[in-house]
Amino acid sequence: MTASATVLNIWCLRHSTGTDFGVNQALAGLAPSIAVAELGGTPLQDFLKSLPGVIGAIDSARSDPDNLYLTMDTAGGLGNSIWPTDRSTLDIQADQSVSPGIQVPVAFSQSLSLWDFDAVSADDLLGSITVFESEQGAGELAKLAKSDVESSYYFVTYRVD
C-alpha cells in the first residue's frame, strides 16, 4: 500500500521579492526540516518569528503577493497544479498561511513545488520540498521550501500516513 502525505499548512515567511542579500543572509541558517512535536506546543510560526532576522524578513517583503499554486514535480504551469484544485492561484504574502488539506501519494519520495504564476513570463519556482515514505508515522513535519533567486521562504507542514 502506498503511503499518503497530507499537506496541512503552507506558511509564507517571505514571499518573492527578488534579490535582497542581507535578508537572505539572515535567513540562511533556518532549519530545513522541523519535527513540529519537538516545539513543545509552540506554534511553528511563533517559534520561527522568535529567531533572529525572521521579523525583518517579513517586514521587508514588498506588498504585491505571490500567486501561489502547488505541483508534484519541478515543472511549473497551472496545467500541472494539484492545488488549488480548480487550476487557479491563491494570493499570499509574508506572514500569511493556507491550509490546503490535500493528499498526495508517496512511493519512496515525492517532490512538492510551490510556484508563483506569471501571466506574461514563465512562472517562478518559489521552492520545493521532498516528502519521504520513510516519514510515515513521524507526526507533523515542517520543511523549508526556498528560492535564492526569488528570495522566497515558505514552510510546508505535512503528515505521512
Domain ranges for the chain, please list them: 3-160
pLDDT at residue 154 above 60?
A: yes
pLDDT computed for residue 56 by the predictor: 67
pLDDT computed for residue 99 by the predictor: 97
What beta strand segments (E) does 46-139 contain?
66-71, 81-83, 90-92, 96-98, 102-106, 109-116, 124-132
pLDDT at residue 115 above 90?
A: yes
Confidence of residue 126 (pLDDT cuts 50, 70, 90): very high
22-41: average pLDDT:
77
pTM confidence score = 0.84
In the predicted model, what is the mean pLDDT of the chain?
88
Confidence of residue 23 (pLDDT cuts 50, 70, 90): low
Specify the CATH number of the domain 3-160. 2.60.40
Report the C-alpha gap between 146 and 125 in whole angstroms.
Answer: 9
Grid cell locating 159 = 503528515
Report the C-alpha gap between 18 and 143 in whole angstroms.
Answer: 22
Please state, in angstroms and as integers, the Cα–Cα distance from residue 56 to each residue in 13, 26, 48, 106, 145, following that order. 10, 9, 12, 36, 19
